[in-house]
């Protein structure tokens, strides 16, 4: 007996076998059970997600000897012929090669004949959008009022190319891309049936590479079995298809968000030397940033697409960047991807985009300048945007995620253990000496007191009544400037951790007299805004 590929061998045979399309299968099951059958159906969705399989299952449900039934037996002549694609009563037509008006006229002439064996004569037209306009028009009247023994089932990947007059005569079902976790589970099911070992990480790597298509995932698994046999590891998947491991992409993103330019470029070079496809790596990076964006907005939205370990990485990285900055990153890399498609040296464009993206993270935006000015001018009154960002900045500064209690806020100052080789107070004094006498950064450091250092964390405290001011001033940019100065003086990488402590001295900006116009002239942020807009400060 000839070998049968996984995509055909494990093709769904019942509504319950459909993976990731419960909204479609349940509706069709209810329609069959209640005998509320339409005369025309349209299945829409990307390739390899089950459109044709769903059409065949529906055909079996209608023509099974026990039917109409939601559970076709699969063993009667009608079911077996439909599954094999050679039933006389289920006519499968390829819309790409049978798209002329003559083909449709022949179909229209044959619909009046009764079915040979089954209850219905079913016309299944795949890639129906390939029919010509004349062919569509020739089908209209028959599609609207077919004989009672005829059912039409259409499948397409491009519904926008189907005439509206055809769409209005069909019940439309949109099949979705299948979540990666469900694809990985199905691949493990196949591995169990075929008696070979498939590592969970390898299954997830295949699922991510398939981009929501079950048929693509099954074909990739077939190829891997032929290549490496048993067992199949994640390294095998990455080697055969040129993918980059998800952990590598996560590390790459982490270096970008932390502005580690040299490390990020080094990792890019390593991936290039390992033979990784630069276009694929760029696509993986954009996809990861998209996941990070979605996670930042709605964390539980990715529960079916990413595993638990990756969710932990996303949670940590979400605190390192604001939403608007993340959107800018995605736009920059998407533009670079479009340029890389036609560039002979893709690595060059990737490097330029990478360095440019990292530099953009440290640039002060006009919105940040305006919001800081408004907050300082109004004292206790904060704009809605500032109020929203303040909570986020406070969490990021304290190293606390949105759904975690602020442990560092409750920690007593004396509980911070300091590395014996580090003198935080002396380091902080030198940092303060390097900061200009005027500006938002000076106002921030004047309100902070050194608590100690532990590992890579440099702990700074402020009195609780200074919280509003600190949250306003502790922008991502200011924190990065502090961390850069800490590194310059001590030679070590530091993460500034800010938290409220009782009994600490502070210098509240609310207690300072109003600043005169002349004082703003020396502020670097104000000066940058003036240079951009060619403006001047007037009293």
Q: What is the pLDDT of residues 88-144, one digit of tens each?
A: 999 999 888 888 888 888 888 888 888 988 899 999 999 999 988 888 888 888 888
Per-residue exposure over 295-307, b if at least 16 CB sit within 10 Å of its own CB, e if not: bbeebeebeebbb
| DSSP per-residue codes, 478-517 | HHHHHHHHHHHHHSS--EEEEEE-TT-----GGGSPPPPH
Model pLDDT for residues 465-483, shown as the tens digit of each residue: 888 778 777 887 788 888 8
Q: Which domains does the chain have, with CATH numbers?
A: 6-174 (3.40.50.300), 180-241 (1.10.8.60), 246-361 (1.20.272.10), 366-527 (3.30.300.180)
* Rounded average pLDDT over 432-442: 82
pLDDT (mean) for 173-194: 92
**Mean pLDDT, all residues of the chain:** 83
Structure-block tokens of residue 435 = 């900061």
Of 213-227, 396-410, 436-450, the range with the lowest mean pLDDT is: 396-410
pLDDT at 446: 85
Q: CA 38 from chain center: how many Å?
A: 36
Poorest-confidence range of 139-148, 308-317, 477-486, 507-516?
Answer: 507-516
> Alpha carbon of 268 to those of 180, 322, 369, 467: distances in Å?
26, 24, 34, 41
Angle at 173 (CA atoms; ends 170, 177), nearest 5 degrees: 150
C-alpha 506/C-alpha 469 separation (Å) is 11
CA distances from 269 to 158, 258, 344, 401 (A): 39, 18, 17, 33
Q: What is the pLDDT of residue 220?
A: 93
pTM for this predicted structure: 0.63
Q: What is the pLDDT of residue 523?
A: 66
Residue-by-residue DSSP string for 459-475 = EEEE-GGGHHHHHHH--
Q: Which residues contact 198 (CB under 8 A, 6 or more apart)?
A: 187, 188, 191, 221, 231, 232
Residue of higher predicted confidence among 380 and 25: 25
CA torsion angle for 231, 234, 240, 244 (degrees, to 10)? 180
| pLDDT at residue 189, rounded to an integer | 94
3-state SS assignment for residue 45 = coil
The Cα 195–Cα 522 span in angstroms is 73
Among 126-135, 380-389, 454-463, 484-493, the minimum mean pLDDT is found in 380-389
Instruction: Give me the pLDDT at residue 519, please.
Output: 56
Q: Return the structure tokens found at 52.
A: 């044709």
- pLDDT, one tens digit per residue, over 516-530 is 555 556 666 677 777
Count other C-beta atoms under 10 Å from residue 9's C-beta: 13
SS3 314: helix
- Give 253's pLDDT tier (boundaries 50, 70, 90): very high
DSSP symbols for 392-412: HHHHHHHT--TTS--HHHHS-
Determine the average pLDDT of the residues in 275-287: 90
Q: What's the rounded mean pLDDT across residues 313-319?
A: 88
Range with lowest mean pLDDT among 2-6, 152-156, 308-312: 308-312
- Going from the C-alpha of 424 to that of each of 419, 468, 482, 483, 486, the distances in angstroms are 9, 25, 13, 13, 10
Q: Count other Cβ atoms within 10 Å, centred on residue 372.
A: 22
Residue 180: pLDDT band with limits 50, 70, 90: confident
Q: Which residues pair with 122 in a beta bridge?
A: 90, 151
Measure the CA–CA gap between 95 and 92, rounded to whole angstroms.
Answer: 9
Instruction: Give the pLDDT band of residue 535 (cuts 50, 70, 90).
Output: confident
Q: Note the pLDDT of residue 26.
A: 94
Say if CB 90 and CB 22 are below 8 A apart: no
Q: Between 479 and 62, where is the model more confident?
A: 62
pLDDT band for 39, please (50, 70, 90 cuts): very high
The yes-or-no verdict on residue 160 having pLDDT over 90 is yes
């Amino acid at each position: 007996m000839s070998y049968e590929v996984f995509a055909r061998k494990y093709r769904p045979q019942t509504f319950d076998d459909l993976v990731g399309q419960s909204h479609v299968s349940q509706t069709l099951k209810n329609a069959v059970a209640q005998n509320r059958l339409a005369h025309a159906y349209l299945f829409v969705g990307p390739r390899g997600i089950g459109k044709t399989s769903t059409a065949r299952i529906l055909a079996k449900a209608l023509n099974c000897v026990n039917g109409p039934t939601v559970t076709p037996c699969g063993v009667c002549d009608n079911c077996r012929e439909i599954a094999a694609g050679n039933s006389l009563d289920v006519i499968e037509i390829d819309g790409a090669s049978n798209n002329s008006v003559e083909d449709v006229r022949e179909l229209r002439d044959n619909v009046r004949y009764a079915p040979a064996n089954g209850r219905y004569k079913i016309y299944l037209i795949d890639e129906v959008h390939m029919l010509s306009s004349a062919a569509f028009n020739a089908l209209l009247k028959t599609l609207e009022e077919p004989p009672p023994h005829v059912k039409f089932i259409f499948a397409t990947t491009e519904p926008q190319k189907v005439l509206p007059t055809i769409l209005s005569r069909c019940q439309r079902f949109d099949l979705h891309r299948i979540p990666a976790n469900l694809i990985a589970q199905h691949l493990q099911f196949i591995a169990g049936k075929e008696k070979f070992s498939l590592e969970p990480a390898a299954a997830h790597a295949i699922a991510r590479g398939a981009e929501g298509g079950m048929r693509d995932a099954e074909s990739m698994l077939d190829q891997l079995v032929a290549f490496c046999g048993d067992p199949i590891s994640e390294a095998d998947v990455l080697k055969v298809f040129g993918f980059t491991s998800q952990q590598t992409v996560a590390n790459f993103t982490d270096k970008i968000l932390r502005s580690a330019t040299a490390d990020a470029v080094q990792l890019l070079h390593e991936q290039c030397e390992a033979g990784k496809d630069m276009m694929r790596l760029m696509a993986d990076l954009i996809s990861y940033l998209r996941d990070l964006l979605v996670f930042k907005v709605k964390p539980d939205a990715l529960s079916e697409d990413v595993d638990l370990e990756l969710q932990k990485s996303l949670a940590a990285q979400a605190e390192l960047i604001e939403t608007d900055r993340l959107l800018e990153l995605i736009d920059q890399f998407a533009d670079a991807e479009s340029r890389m498609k036609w560039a002979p040296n893709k690595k060059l464009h990737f490097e330029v985009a990478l360095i440019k993206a990292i530099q953009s993270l440290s640039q002060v935006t006009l919105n940040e300048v305006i919001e800081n000015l408004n907050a300082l001018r109004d004292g206790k009154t904060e704009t809605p945007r500032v109020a929203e960002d303040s909570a986020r900045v406070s969490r990021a500064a304290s190293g606390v995620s949105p759904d975690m209690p602020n442990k560092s806020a409750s920690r007593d100052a004396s509980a911070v253990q300091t590395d014996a080789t580090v003198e935080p107070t002396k380091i902080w004094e030198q940092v303060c000496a390097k900061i200009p006498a005027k500006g938002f950064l000076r106002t921030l450091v004047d309100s902070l007191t050194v608590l100690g250092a532990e590992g890579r964390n440099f702990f700074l405290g402020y009195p609780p009544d200074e919280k509003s001011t600190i949250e306003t001033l502790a922008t991502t940019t200011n924190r990065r400037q502090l961390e850069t100065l800490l590194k310059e003086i001590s030679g070590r990488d530091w993460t500034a951790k800010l938290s409220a402590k009782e009994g600490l001295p502070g210098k509240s900006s609310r207690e300072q007299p109003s600043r005169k116009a002349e004082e703003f002239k020396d502020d670097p942020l104000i000066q940058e805004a003036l240079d951009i807009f060619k403006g001047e400060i007037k009293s």
